[in-house]
A and B are shown apart, each in its own frame.
Chain A
């Protein structure tokens, strides 16, 4: 099973007044089948962390390894869902979802079958022939998720996938993510600045301090599994344990930040 490790990684870029350290000596493990959520304020370096894991950026020091093999660049074994869908408007929904299979030269029939299955999984069965621009923001994110799943990655990296959605769609998408996670058994790593979202979804919640980012705290949670066992998401969010954790996480993060930087959804 897939295990993505970040080992003593550093991210340094050259700014106007010399080198800027986003983080250094950062280590974490994304264990097989887990749903890891990294929570931190805007600009704390969580996107950089995800970009390193995806292979879009190379670490300045340390290494990123998937199942012991060092990550050299982007690859299909590490899928990515973007904040702003990054779909291809010249392809219809089905061809967007089947894109990775087309790159691999999979026969058309199998390509369509697998893409349809992925669309059904995200609740978009029947939207095959739609154009990307005909879809709402939430639907586009579902297509982006289906597209990443069709490539059958070992780890799925989610870059604030719900960040640009309205509150209602966001709650639906949170539930969808949990369902997809349970049904596919994939290993997920998501970054977000939504506290409730992070608490509901994560099996392991990583709290990041601002720059230079370091892991302030790691929490092991079970609200996601409780949702999947049948409890309603709304009720879970009102659960005293959930509320207490929300307060605690908020306090931890506000210890570093001025209020107002975190979404309360």
Chain B
């Protein structure tokens, strides 16, 4: 109780919404909050705060290495990693430039995502529409979904060898589960009134599926793909443990074997940056394809 009150007292710095200006209240009637201190207003902006965090972390990293608190073998300096970035980008590491490694990894994830979408979305629709199909599919998906990819990696190698197929298959399986589950959820949550409305306008079952069920489930399908892309990307390193010659995971792995720590750090940073990029990309796609999400 008192804690909550204290919160309220600390936060009258919040600016009044713009609509208040439109009211015909006399200026004196509007309670004026005390002007916040400049730095507090600055910190109230989420983006700036996020940026400040990143800068602070980089500064801390630089400071720790500049003061030589940690040997470079364990933590190379930011400058060293930046230099390595230039070197790997132009000359390359392990017979491939950074871009070739990146390309190999992105291609694997893209093929896996495409294959997962083409199979998981139809299956999810089937499972969402048919109770019997769900009864059959549920135990299979629920069994394999929580398995860590590294646990079934050896079996995939035994079955499918050490070629490209095994790598893509591993990523594919990581993407498949979230896509099928969210498609199923989206399809079974279609508003009954919308289905009825379409039927009363003359829709046959096929039209119902294309014109109502699929667009209704699209927000969930895209969310599934977003989650799937995240798990798929994080499975990458595991997939590229299998006799790869290119790929970011392979690059990090082989650099670790030779204790080339700056390449390891570089690889991790690139993997992280790409993950953020993919996430932003699919969020933009969601805004574009399903602008009604959360509004209706």
Which chain A residues have a beta carbon within 8 Å of chain B's beta carbons?
Answer: 54-56, 73-76, 78-80, 82, 84, 86-90, 99-100, 102-104, 131-133, 144, 147-148, 151
Most chain B beta carbons < 10 A, residue from A78, A88, A102: A88
**Interchain CB contact (< 8 A) of A147 among B201, B204, B290, B295:** B201
Most chain A beta carbons < 10 A, residue from B191, B218, B296: B296
A87 to B193 CA separation, bound complex (whole angstroms): 9
- Residues B201 and A84 in contact, CB atoms below 8 Å apart: no
Interface residues of B in 194-221 (CB under 8 A from A): 194, 196-204, 207, 211-212, 215-216, 218
What are the residues of chain B within 8 A of A103 when measuring CB–CB?
Answer: 198, 201-204, 207, 211
Most chain B beta carbons < 10 A, residue from A87, A90, A103, A131: A90
- Residues A104 and B202 in contact, CB atoms below 8 Å apart: yes
Most chain B beta carbons < 10 A, residue from A89, A132, A147: A89
What are the residues of chain A within 8 A of B292 when measuring CB–CB?
Answer: 89-90, 131-133
Which chain B residues have a beta carbon within 8 Å of chain A's beta carbons?
Answer: 191, 193-194, 196-204, 207, 211-212, 215-216, 218, 290-292, 295-296
- Residues A79 and B215 in contact, CB atoms below 8 Å apart: no
- Residues A132 and B200 in contact, CB atoms below 8 Å apart: no
What are the residues of chain B within 8 A of A88 when measuring CB–CB?
Answer: 194, 197-198, 211-212, 215
In the complex, the chain A residue whose C-beta lies closest to that of B198 is A99
- Residues B196 and A86 in contact, CB atoms below 8 Å apart: yes
A52 to B205 CA separation, bound complex (whole angstroms): 20
Most chain A beta carbons < 10 A, residue from B196, B197, B199, B211: B197
- Residues A86 and B194 in contact, CB atoms below 8 Å apart: yes
Question: Would A54 and B215 be within 8 Å (CB), given that A89-B295, A132-B296 are in contact?
Answer: no
- Residues A74 and B200 in contact, CB atoms below 8 Å apart: yes
Given contact pairs A74-B196, A86-B196, enumerate 18 new A-B contacts (beta carbons under 8 Å).
A55-B199, A56-B196, A75-B199, A75-B200, A79-B200, A79-B201, A80-B196, A82-B193, A82-B196, A82-B197, A86-B191, A86-B197, A88-B197, A88-B211, A99-B198, A102-B211, A103-B201, A151-B201
- Residues A84 and B196 in contact, CB atoms below 8 Å apart: no
- Residues B193 and A86 in contact, CB atoms below 8 Å apart: yes
A234 to B281 CA separation, bound complex (whole angstroms): 56
Instruction: Give min CB distance, B221 to chain A, whole Å.
Output: 13
28 A-B Cβ contacts within 8 A?
A: A56-B196, A56-B199, A74-B199, A74-B200, A75-B199, A75-B202, A76-B201, A79-B200, A80-B196, A80-B200, A86-B196, A87-B197, A88-B194, A88-B211, A88-B215, A90-B215, A90-B290, A99-B211, A100-B201, A103-B202, A103-B203, A103-B204, A131-B292, A133-B296, A144-B197, A147-B201, A151-B201, A151-B202
What are the residues of chain B within 8 A of A89 when measuring CB–CB?
Answer: 292, 295-296
What are the residues of chain A within 8 A of B218 when measuring CB–CB?
Answer: 90
What are the residues of chain A within 8 A of B295 when measuring CB–CB?
Answer: 89, 133
What are the residues of chain A within 8 A of B197 when measuring CB–CB?
Answer: 80, 82, 86-88, 144, 147
What are the residues of chain A within 8 A of B200 when measuring CB–CB?
Answer: 54-55, 74-76, 78-80, 148, 151
What are the residues of chain B within 8 A of A147 when measuring CB–CB?
Answer: 197, 201
Instruction: Give min CB distance, A166 to chain B, whole Å.
Output: 19
A73 to B291 CA separation, bound complex (whole angstroms): 33
Instruction: Give min CB distance, B259 to chain A, whole Å.
Output: 54
A82 to B292 CA separation, bound complex (whole angstroms): 20
- Residues A99 and B201 in contact, CB atoms below 8 Å apart: yes
What are the residues of chain B within 8 A of A73 when measuring CB–CB?
Answer: 199
A151 to B292 CA separation, bound complex (whole angstroms): 25
Instruction: Give min CB distance, A86 to chain B, whole Å.
Output: 4
A253 to B61 CA separation, bound complex (whole angstroms): 78
Instruction: Give min CB distance, B169 to chain A, whole Å.
Output: 34
Question: Would A100 and B202 be within 8 Å (CB), given that A88-B212, A89-B296 are in contact?
Answer: yes
Most chain B beta carbons < 10 A, residue from A78, A80, A132, A147: A80
What are the residues of chain A within 8 A of B290 when measuring CB–CB?
Answer: 90
Instruction: Give min CB distance, A130 to chain B, whole Å.
Output: 12
A73 to B191 CA separation, bound complex (whole angstroms): 19
What are the residues of chain B within 8 A of A104 when measuring CB–CB?
Answer: 202
A76 to B197 CA separation, bound complex (whole angstroms): 10
What are the residues of chain B within 8 A of A90 when measuring CB–CB?
Answer: 215-216, 218, 290, 292
Instruction: Give min CB distance, A35 to chain B, whole Å.
Output: 19
In the complex, the chain B residue whose C-beta lies closest to that of A78 is B200
A217 to B198 CA separation, bound complex (whole angstroms): 34
A74 to B197 CA separation, bound complex (whole angstroms): 9
In the complex, the chain A residue whose C-beta lies closest to that of B194 is A86
What are the residues of chain B within 8 A of A131 when measuring CB–CB?
Answer: 291-292
A75 to B216 CA separation, bound complex (whole angstroms): 21
What are the residues of chain B within 8 A of A75 when measuring CB–CB?
Answer: 199-200, 202
Instruction: Give min CB distance, B147 to chain A, whole Å.
Output: 35
Instruction: Give min CB distance, A131 to chain B, whole Å.
Output: 7
A54 to B218 CA separation, bound complex (whole angstroms): 28
- Residues B193 and A84 in contact, CB atoms below 8 Å apart: yes
Instruction: Give min CB distance, A69 to chain B, whole Å.
Output: 16
In the complex, the chain A residue whose C-beta lies closest to that of B197 is A86
What are the residues of chain A within 8 A of B216 when measuring CB–CB?
Answer: 90
